[in-house]
Amino acid sequence: MTRRLDATPSGIAAAASILRAGGLVAFGTETVYGLGADASQPQAVARIFEAKNRPRFNPLISHFAHAQAAFTQVVPNAMAHRLAQAFWPGPLTLILPRAPACCISDLAADGLSSLAVRVPANATARALLEQVDRPIAAPSANRSGRISPVDAAHVLEELEGRIDAVLDSGPCMVGVESTVVDLTDPQAPCLLRPGGVTLEELQAICPHIRLPQTSSDVLPHSPGRLISHYAPHLPVRLNALHAQADEALLAFGAPRPTEAPLVWNLSENGNLEEAAARLFTGLRTLDHQGRALGLERIAVSPIPQHGLGRAIQDRLNRAAAPRPQDGVEDAAP
Ligand code: TXA
Ligand code: MG
């Protein structure tokens, strides 16, 4: 049985005690819902992989209520302090060397000498983290490879009965995962995953941030970044200027006449923040309703490549990528 907990003091207290006892609680952040477990308890972390049906272990992000708490587990450098000052609490994850006194289980860090840390902005998540007072490992609360959940109902669709509770703090405001920046080499900060903090915002603080040149540049460092991910059941066709009668359309911008019988517009007035917040719900809705209508695929309008458009395009590229069942193995080592 999965308990549904409200974002009230008693709901948050119940969620905190489940986590301290080694249980699994999905909770809302400003980006997506995370599937949380105490990062210092290996058995609790193992249950995350089991519940998500992950074929292999991936390094997980450890979540904290404050930067001071995060910086007890890693060795921060000057750039880490500046980025934390600018963007925490918020949708930014920093990869740093693990501190000698780090209590995170090897399973949560996948045995790496670095650790991903983040301080989320959502008030309920922060209250929860404060009460638990331990690092909480939390990947997105979906079955492995599927669309990330941005409300509690999405979490239950995939994980009902497999997790102890979901703490319902309503829909996620940002709607795409955090931006991941590797700071393990202070001379060469590197953007591993575009996300809720845009490249332009990062460059204002960290002008020399490097974009990975190729996907093989990212994968050894960020083994969780499987190419196929965020996948609906229907195939996805990108940069579609016109959708066909057998397609559901994920549109962006001013509505135009289309043959597609089913349309989800990410943002009619071309606002990328609104589009990010509506992305995963749109994919999910078109997938469910499109399959019910017997449609063949999801066509996606072109997305501008600036600001949050990069994070949106990254998720769409992965949703459209060949899937392991198509005969292509994970690109990760
Ligand atoms: O917004 C988010 O970041 C959400 C919410 C729940 O906080 N979490 C999330 O976690 O997206 P997950 O596990 O789906 O993605 C974590 C990403 C993966 O791409 C993983 O490879 C990378 O962070 N990562 C984690 N630890 C790493 C490390 N030590 N070095 C490099 N990449 C790492
Ligand atoms: Mg994920």
Helix/strand/coil (H/E/C) assignment for every residue in 215-265? HHHHCCCCCCCCCCCCCCCCCEECCCCCCCCCEEEEECCCCCCCCCCEEEE
Contact 20, 116 (CB under 8 A): no
Percent of the chain's residues with pLDDT above 90? 84
pLDDT number for residue 327: 40
Average pLDDT along the chain: 92
How far is it, in rounded angstroms, from Cα 108 to Cα 62? 8
Q: Which of 45, 58, 96 to mutate to test the pocket of ligand 1 (most atoms within 8 A of CB)?
A: 58
C-alpha radius of gyration, the chain, whole number: 19
Ligand 2 centre to CA of 224 (Å) is 8
Q: What is the number of the ligand 1 atom nearest to the C-alpha of 115?
A: 29
Task: Tell me, yes or no, if the pTM score tops 0.85.
Answer: yes
Residue 54 beta carbon below 6 angstroms from any ligand 1 atom: no
pLDDT digits (tens, 9 = 90+) for 211-265: 876 555 455 456 555 567 788 999 999 999 999 999 999 999 999 999 999 999 9
Q: Is 332 near ligand 1, meaning CB less than 6 Å away?
A: no
| C-alpha span between 142 and 154 (Å, rounded) | 8
Contact (CB, 8 A) for 96 and 74: yes
Q: Taking the chain, what is the end-to-end CA distance rounded to the nearest angstrom?
A: 36
Question: Exposure string (b/e) for 208-234, b if CB count within 10 Å is 16 or more?
Answer: ebeebeeeeebbebbbbbbbbbbbbeb
Closest CA to 30 of 192, 150, 145: 150
Of all ligands present, the nearest one to the C-alpha of 222 is 1
Q: What number does the ligand 1 atom closest to the CA of 63 have?
A: 7
pLDDT exceeds 90 at position 56: no
Express each pLDDT in 96-129 by its tens digit. 999 999 999 999 998 899 999 999 999 999 999 9
Ligand 1 atom index nearest CA of 196: 1
H, E, C per residue of 106-161: HHHHCCCCEEEEECCCCHHHHHHHHHHCCCEECCECCCCCCCCCCCHHHHHHHHCC
Instruction: Let me know: does 192 contact 59? Beta carbons within 8 Å.
Output: no
Distance from Cα 262 to the centre of ligand 1, integer Å? 33
Count Cβ atoms within 10 A of the Cβ of residue 22 and give its class: 0-12 exposed, 13-18 middle, 19 or more buried. middle
